Structure 1
Amino acid sequence: METNSYSTVPVTQTAAPVLKRASLVRRHRGLVFALLSILLLLFSLTMAFHAFVAYTLARPHIDPLKSNPMKAFGAAYENVQFPSLNDSSQLSGWYIPAAATAATASETSRQTIVFSHGYGGNREEIWVPIYDLAKAVHNLGYNVLMFDYGYVQPQWNVTGGLRESHELLGAVQYAKDRGAEKVFVWGFSMGAGTALQAALQTKDIDGMILDSTFVLEPDTLYHNMKQTAHLPEFSQPLVHMFFPLINGVSLNQIPYQTVKETQYSMPIFFIHGKQDLKAPYEMAEGIYQQQKSDSGSQLWLLEGDGHELIYRAHKRAYLQMTTGFLQTLSSTPSAPVKYGSSR
């Protein structure tokens, strides 16, 4: 009878090292998977956060209208609607005919001031406040047009001046259609930057007053992001990347470099504070320096004032200088004249 002889080794002596290695591999794989999951989550949250920033930048909260020219300073007005120059949007506003009793009505009643409000505001521009300025020019005999940019409506978003410049040109055309022989634009913050973009495309603007000029470019975008959310520098290209994906318009389409280098055909009165934390004063100063010395342009640069706060701090001087600038241009039938340029 045959017998099979097997050499038996205890299982524990051969399998233990293999099981230990398998356990270590599983543990390492679990750690790697967990680490990759955490990194993926952080990456996704970072991307989502910057996408949200791009979304909210283009859709600021807008307060409803709180008053009107009749309630604010007793001026008769009309509710008006008009299209942007390229018919891309329909705009609403108030048209205030010139005060018939103004001493200069015969000269200025055929001239219109178009107010260009800033980012996050509407035609009332409460930061300035605009009713004081509208009253002042109305009493001097000018017609006044106050209107809302398209992004005030919920179906539209901010485009950094691309669509808004056509909307401002639509307002200028509306003033012309109402009989204005001269049109002056008075802009604030991004509304001032929009005015500069609009002025690249027309000869129908006869002069501009630009308070706290903000031109949307990568540097100013990051400047504002840093002020409000303390975001790191790598946030700038991420928001820049998401902006067109979410809002349908690229910041590269904004002609900010052209705006900064152009010699404009009309006189411009730049007003800016050196303590402006939203729109660095160096940009307005640089654009002013591009203007010809005999262009009639002027720069009023204040040492201690912030964004759109100059009127509140210097009401009398602000009104004297701005209305004086307008009246100088109003009395000039042809080419721009010199007006106190300090270089």
Structure 2
Amino acid sequence: MSTTTGSNAPLSQTNDTPAELSPGLVRFKHIILALVLSVVFFLIFCFIALHAYIAWVLSNPTVAPLYSNPKLAKDMNYESVTFHSIDGKRDINGWYIPAERSNKTIVLSHGYGANREETWVPMYDIAHYAHNMNFNVLMFDYGFASQTSKEVATGGKEEKRQLLGAIEHVKQRGAKQIVVWGFSMGAGTALQAGLETKDVDAMILDSSFLLEPDTLYHNIHNQINLPRHPSLEILELLFPVLNGTSLDQIPYNEVKKNDYPFPTLFIHGTRDDKAPYPIAEKIASNQTHPDSDSWIVENAHHELIFREHPREYLRRVSTFLGKLQSPDNAGM
């Protein structure tokens, strides 16, 4: 018996060449890949477009037209006034309600999505109370609420300049004591303006809304369940395009750590679904002025505290205003 070895051994032949795909199968794979990529890009486009729509809506709130005036609403005589924002870039319209022989003035700073009437507060009742306390009262519209030359809302960047213009206006009319009474974003705007002026003697801040990443996402999440990231990053890229304002231009960190030189009264509800009350608590806790105070109201809602607790609301405000030094005695 013999065996064959070495170079004489027969070798089994194998074919290592892969089978070629038919042209039809290659075309099918390309079609599937194209469809998958199209769906992915379409979903990305829709996701970004949704955020662009949200940013546009937030920048362009729907504001109802004026329906009354101080005379019709509360039998208060008034003047229609126009003044400039502090930088002179915008004309602001409002009503000035004079008190008899008074050099004290309250400037009412309305909230987002409202005009100077802000009916749900209700602002006419606040103005009437202030007038009965012998304060002159200025009610005015921020640019986003203008009936003649509407502008975008900027979370306080431009609004603070308009508020500073209002403060300058009443100062020029002889006000020796100026109190800013703000609601929601109007309160947050007042806090931003307070960083830049020495003409304010006190602030009353109801349901303070300060635009920052946390409150922005909180309000969006209340309406639609979007992920925090990358939603915030996308919105931060879109806002400068749609309203010319970056969140970095809102001094929210400075506001949250600032100790204001004038007395402040913070009023906030624990069931506020737009401006979480711990932010107001934090800012209030920084204040060292002996006349500063805060009132955190259990189960009260955003900007509805006066409606829900009118007597206690006015009692606390009256006590706060009563502690202010008389402008006639200032500097004595």
Using the size of structure 1 for normalisation, the TM-score is 0.87
Query: Hey, what's the Cα distance between the residues in 1 that align with 2:310 and 2:155?
Result: 29
Deviations 1:11-51 (A, max 9, x none): xxxxxx86x62111100100000111111111111111111
Alignment correspondent of 2:108: 115
Instruction: Indicate which of 241, 250, 267 corresponds to 1:254.
Output: 250
Matched residue type, 1:270 = F
For structure 1, which runs of at least 5 residues remain unmatched after alignment?
1-16, 101-105, 336-343
The alpha-carbon deviation at position 210 of structure 1 amounts to 0.2
Alignment correspondent of 1:244: 240
Alignment correspondent of 1:128: 121
Instruction: Indicate which of 310, 314, 323 corresponds to 1:315.
Output: 310
Instruction: Indicate which of 206, 209, 222 corresponds to 2:217.
Output: 222
User: Does the CA-based 8 Å contact 1:192-1:213 persist in structure 2?
Assistant: yes
SS at match of 1:92: strand
Deviations 1:243-299 (A, max 9, x none): 11221111111000000000101000000001111001011100011111x431100
Matched residue type, 1:207 = A
Alignment correspondent of 1:87: 88
Matched residue type, 1:161 = G
Please, which moves more after superposition, 229-238 or 78-87?
229-238
Alignment correspondent of 2:272: 276
The alpha-carbon deviation at position 331 of structure 1 amounts to 3.1
Q: CA RMSD in A?
A: 1.4
Matched residue type, 1:301 = I
Query: Hey, what's the Cα distance between the residues in 2 that align with 1:306 and 1:230?
Result: 22
Instruction: Indicate which of 274, 292, 313 corresponds to 1:297.
Output: 292
SS at match of 1:162: coil
Alignment correspondent of 1:176: 171
Query: Hey, what's the Cα distance between the residues in 1 that align with 2:173 and 2:31?
Result: 74
Query: Hey, what's the Cα distance between the residues in 1 that align with 2:94 and 2:290?
Result: 31
Matches within 5 A, 1:5-44: 21-44=22-45
Is structure 2 residue 151 aligned with structure 1 residue 156?
yes
Alignment correspondent of 1:147: 140
Matched residue type, 1:243 = F
Query: Hey, what's the Cα distance between the residues in 2 that align with 1:313 and 1:145?
Result: 25
Query: Hey, what's the Cα distance between the residues in 2 that align with 1:320 and 1:295?
Result: 19
Q: Aligned residues, how many?
A: 309
Query: Hey, what's the Cα distance between the residues in 2 that align with 1:140 and 1:184?
Result: 13
Query: Hey, what's the Cα distance between the residues in 2 that align with 1:297 and 1:127?
Result: 26
Alignment correspondent of 1:71: 72
Percent identity between matched residues is 49
For structure 2, which runs of at least 5 residues remain unmatched after alignment?
1-18
Alignment correspondent of 1:199: 194
Deviations 1:119-167 (A, max 9, x none): 0000001121011111111112110000000111354101110111010
SS at match of 2:182: strand
SS at match of 2:285: helix
The alpha-carbon deviation at position 231 of structure 1 amounts to 2.2
The alpha-carbon deviation at position 229 of structure 1 amounts to 2.0
Alignment correspondent of 1:190: 185
SS at match of 2:139: strand
Matched residue type, 2:267 = I
Matched residue type, 2:96 = Y
Query: Hey, what's the Cα distance between the residues in 2 that align with 1:155 and 1:32?
Result: 48
User: Does the CA-based 8 Å contact 1:137-1:323 persist in structure 2?
Assistant: no
User: Does the CA-based 8 Å contact 1:133-1:319 persist in structure 2?
Assistant: no
The alpha-carbon deviation at position 334 of structure 1 amounts to 4.1
Please, which moves more after superposition, 198-207 or 232-241?
232-241
Deviations 1:169-201 (A, max 9, x none): 100000011110111000000000000000000
Matched residue type, 2:113 = G
Query: Hey, what's the Cα distance between the residues in 2 that align with 1:229 and 1:146?
Result: 34
User: Does the CA-based 8 Å contact 1:266-1:295 persist in structure 2?
Assistant: no
The alpha-carbon deviation at position 214 of structure 1 amounts to 0.5
